[in-house]
Structure 1
């Protein structure tokens, strides 16, 4: 899978590099992000499945609630080392010990700006305090990493002195921290190579200049063997370096294995749902468009050779390839998508369908699977009878528990059901599933809402992608009512997924 190596490769494939995930601490410091103890536990379990070596579960000094969440993670008895972030205070170490963590990350100032202006101390006193903190933590049998905060802006000679002091006092490693995403790969490599002469070195990089991965790789090439990351690149300001990007870069480019790559996408999706931070479509590795092809030239090339326009197979990171429809879609893409949905068409019909898809894309429309299939039915003259159709929907959210009732036509039989949920959309979806019974076992893979118009009478477009067995269908619906748009899109997607099955519905479940 990896690229060919050259004799001068800066990171040999036999290097041992581990990843430290700080999503539960530094990632949670992103504006608007707050994880519940249950969410922290779920993410920690997913990190464990991926093979992450160190899980920084939080900062014990934050409060009693945070300590309970950290303790929940330590109770999982993970193979990964579970740690807590600590300020330069013995009391912070005591609070971490209450959580029964395996280790601590003791942050101490490294740059003069932090030593003098933030902490209000001197270089000499900072060294003495660092040694005392390390000795205190190691006396309590903790694994200790000392982080030189703002290390990328520190005097390099003093940074070395700080690292030597920490390691001589018993610290397991020293971390080079580009705290504000300030530096570039050349300085990172110089600093880490000098620090590595004193003992084990970690790297903590941020993405303010878009150099998070570059600096992380520069640090590894210079001797760092542990990289701090967050899932999806969450973190303060522009975020930390993304775990999934470091992992795939190390393995694909250098042949250095760190984690189970096939777990990356499910991990990214889990963190996105828990934090409410949507993944940008063009996000490397885990973004929606990372393995999506619309261009006719790219689609045709990919269908001939799936490596033609992709650096590595999508399955490597737990993804699937997707052909998108739009004004750039050529005949090959249309034909391949029709085949996926079991639609037969002659060459002339495919050409006509492709032309209609292009016209729809030219009008600024995102062309969904449902749009394509409707065009195909019109061109081929195949009048398909609906299997599932929405007849009526009522949803209320004024009370303590949002409720919804729904009436569907299911293969000629009317079904009525009700449901509750965290909101009117959730309640309506529950009602749909209740009406359809166990046969409606499709999974909602994605759900996007976009405002089409502004003002109090705004129209919204809801686009859903639903998967059943090995088939997926995307549908978009626009309405003034987001609940109705959501339900119509989901019902239409289910209808498309079930249309090719013979008698897909048994009588409604008891």
Structure 2
């Protein structure tokens, strides 16, 4: 597969914090920013300074860390928001306004032309004051494509460093995303950014697909947190880029640790079946699978768990086979006869079917009981 140039803008500290009930302290945001920078993330969106005085102080504190990553913040098409971004000393400001007819009518009570004029005047103001600007269309996925192209064209002519496309309500599919990015890229004069929400479960897929269609800046959050159903997951997007786009400049071995950090600070638990960082991502119970894994992990692991800072784990349950049990017993240092192994396996299956968790302690009890009865 052909490799496409990309960069990541992680928005955990801004859109991720818009997850219901989530609020990061300044120290927590600094810890997350440091970890993102250590992984090699190019741009960190630190927050929305107009939200509160404390938010503005936190963004300043992250800027003052002088990380290798560029620091970004969000701004409405309002001069006070641009002034706040300037005061924070960020490298990039994302100026956004809703571009769909629905949003323009309901939220602004203006025409398309009036909204675009206001947005362009704020773009001029930011550029004139030395800011790099991402000119962002909110609800772009439901915006007339002609108006979207006009916005991006005029924005680029006025000095916007990036044009940004937001699937704000997560309504797109990967095929739709590929087609719209290809269409926009035909006439675009600056790099395109994509910001995807997960309302249909396609945020990560849409983000990766957009990169293959020519989008340059990809927006993510750690663990996919964010408003409603969340955003594109940083770990899923980075692994897809490593495996399918030959992108190898990010330190993926830190992903599991970062995931746990954000889980702790946000209070949003990661699903056990979450790709890449979920508790079960590299756990195997099926006897057929374990028998093959013992010979070659690639049989049932597309990428090695060590690549993302995790470990393979073989579990015991109703689907466990004899080969898997023998391997686990040997790994734990037990030597059992064939008859004892068969008896242990029967007890494990019976316990699992009764919804008993096969913990290490419970396994030790089964082994001791089996050996005792045999002697």
Tell me, yes or no, whether TM beats 0.5.
Answer: yes
Partner of 2:365: 374
Q: 1:47 aligned to 2:36?
A: yes
Give the alignment partner of residue 34 of structure 1, picking from 7, 15, 23: 23
Q: Secondary structure at the match of 2:46?
A: strand
Is 1:247–1:258's contact at 8 Å kept on the other side of the alignment?
no
Q: What is the distance in 2 between the residues matched to 1:252 and 1:187?
A: 23
Q: Could you tell me how far apart the structure 2 residues matched to 1:299 and 1:365 are?
A: 21
- Return the alpha-carbon distance in structure 2 between the equivalents of residues 303 and 27 of structure 1: 39
- Note if 1:215 corresponds to 2:177: no
- Return the TM-score normalized by structure 1: 0.71
Q: Which has the higher contact order (CA 8 A, sep 6+)?
A: 2
Query: The residue matched to 2:123 in structure 1 has which SS?
Result: helix
Match of 1:131 among 117, 120, 123: 120
Among 69, 76, 95, the residue aligned to 2:65: 76
**1:84-123 CA-partner distances (Å, limit 9, x unpaired):** 1111111011112222211111111211112222122211
Once the two structures are superposed, what CA deviation does each residue of 1:434-459 show, in whole Å capped at 9, x if it has no partner?
A: xxxxxxxxxxxxxxxxxxxxxxxxxx
Matched, 1:66 2:55: yes
Deviating beyond 4 angstroms after TM superposition, the runs of 4 or more aligned structure 1 residues are none
Report deviation, 1:258. 5.4
Q: Secondary structure at the match of 2:95?
A: strand
In the alignment, what sits opposite 1:318? 309
Secondary structure at 1:282's aligned position in 2?
coil
Describe the SS at the equivalent of 2:298: coil
Show CA shifts across 1:15-57 (max 9, x none): 2211110000001101111111111010001101111111001
CA RMSD of aligned residues (A): 1.4
Q: CA deviation at 1:340?
A: 2.9
Match among 202, 209, 226 for residue 217 of structure 2: 226
Contact conserved, 1:331 with 1:351, CA < 8 A, in 2? Answer: yes
2:183 counterpart of 1:194:
yes
Equivalents in 2 of 1:258, 1:208: separation in Å? 30
Secondary structure of 2:124 counterpart? helix
> 1:502 — aligned with what?
none
CA distance in 2, matches of 1:100, 1:236: 27
Distance 2:280 2:251 in 1: 22
* Residues 436-451 of structure 1: pairs in structure 2 closer than 5 A: none
Shift, 1:334, TM fit? 2.1
Give the gaps of 5 or more residues in structure 2.
none
Pick aligned residue for 2:142 from 125, 131, 153? 153
Does the aligned pair in 2 maintain the 1:130–1:165 contact within 8 Å?
no
Counterpart position of 1:272? 263
The answer to whether the 8 A contact 1:201-1:224 is kept is yes
Structure with greater helix share of residues: 2
2:254 aligns to what? 263
1:223-257 CA deviation, whole Å, 9 max, x = no partner? 10110000100011111010111111121123233
| Structure 1, gaps ≥5 residues long | 6-11, 383-510
Q: Distance in 2 between matches of 1:368 and 1:329?
A: 14
Question: d(CA) in 2 for partners of 1:126 and 1:39?
Answer: 36
More strand by share: 1
Is residue 74–residue 99 contact of structure 1 (8 Å, CA) maintained in 2? yes
Match of 1:292 in 2: 283
Between 216-225 and 45-54, report the one with greater CA deviation: 216-225
Of stretches 259-268 and 344-353 in structure 1, the one that deviates more from structure 2 is 344-353
How many aligned positions are there?
A: 371
CA distance in 2, matches of 1:193, 1:328: 46
Shift of 1:218: 2.5
Is the aligned partner of 1:119 residue 2:108? yes
SS class of match (1:24): coil
The C-alpha deviation readout for 1:249-295, integer Å capped at 9, x for no partner, is 12112323352221111111111111011110110111111100011
